[in-house]
Structure 1
Amino acid sequence: MAMGPLPSSGRGRGRAPMAEINVTPLVDVMLVLLIIFMITAPLLMTGVPVNLPDSRAKALEQPKKPVQIAIDAQGRVYVDDAAVDDAQLAARLEQIAQQSAGADPTQIFLRADRAIDYGKVMQVMGELNRAGLNKVALVSTPAAE
């Protein structure tokens, strides 16, 4: 006698291959990923919103000449190419603020040497703010491409 599978007399008694795909696990995984992205997306946007100008922006038309304030590498402050001591800086800035007390505030261009201490720049900006001169632009040179 031979030992082997017995021939079946009828068709369809065995398991037929399943022709449908079960999408429930796929939907579950996609919903979990959606929840993770919804939670983490707001956390990725940190920092202060700043509207930065384009690097190829043209110079703005100025109705009147802006006040130039420069800080050199030694920490000396110049207002329109005239050296000003730290003690005289507040009085000079208040004088500029009084001259521009009209509707159009004076534009200030602040230029500082790259080797200067950040604290010195913040000290000058604090004096500008205290004098009421809040229209300050930090001047830099364009980056080489």
Structure 2
Amino acid sequence: VLLIIFMISAPLLTVGVPVELPKTEASAVETTDKPITVSIDQNGAIFIGESEVRWEQLAIRVAEEGGEKARDKAVFIRADGRAPYQAVARVMARLSASGFTKLNLITDTAADEPAEG
């Protein structure tokens, strides 16, 4: 239940929090609604858009950001590859427990990586 949806999305988002996304070979997921973006930097700090959010206010702020039917919207989680796994897991668990079901982890594509051999 901790990772309800482990869908890998690779659209290029222009969010102001600089994170170094992990590389994967997954394809992009199509979405018609504007997603809610939650970012986690390398130190575990949480951001919605460009605004830092305290842990206690996470679910409330995501709901405010999404407006009506926020829990039906996609939530894109952009976690720095160097962020502690615990920080990412806690954010996903908090959102899941608050009724958000469309959680998506954002990554970069690994197509530009040189093959090891």
Measure, in 2, the Cα distance between the counterparts of 1:108 and 1:87. Answer: 18
Q: Retained in 1: the 8 A contact 2:7–2:103?
A: no
Q: Which of the pair is proportionally richer in strand?
A: 2
Distance 1:76 1:109, change over 3 A: same
Measure, in 1, the Cα distance between the counterparts of 2:34 and 2:42. Answer: 25
Amino acid across the alignment from 2:61? R
Does residue 86 of the first structure (1) align with residue 55 of the second (2)?
Answer: yes
Question: What value does the CA root-mean-square deviation take over the aligned residues?
Answer: 3.0
Does residue 108 of the first structure (1) align with residue 75 of the second (2)?
Answer: yes
Deviation at 1:127, TM superposition (A): 1.0
Measure, in 1, the Cα distance between the counterparts of 2:28 and 2:104. Answer: 15
Measure, in 1, the Cα distance between the counterparts of 2:33 and 2:69. Answer: 11
Name the counterpart of 1:57: 27
The alignment covers a number of residue pairs equal to 93
Q: Which of the pair is proportionally richer in helix?
A: 1
Measure, in 1, the Cα distance between the counterparts of 2:28 and 2:49. Answer: 23
Amino acid across the alignment from 1:129? S
Name the counterpart of 1:68: 37
TM-score where L is the length of structure 1: 0.53
Amino acid across the alignment from 2:32? P
Q: Retained in 1: the 8 A contact 2:8–2:107?
A: no
Point out where structure 2 has 5 or more consecutive residues left out of the alignment.
1-5, 10-24
The answer to which structure, 1 or 2, has the higher relative contact order (CA under 8 A, 6+ apart) is 2
Q: For 1:4-43, list aligned pairs within 5 A.
A: none
Point out where structure 1 has 5 or more consecutive residues left out of the alignment.
1-49
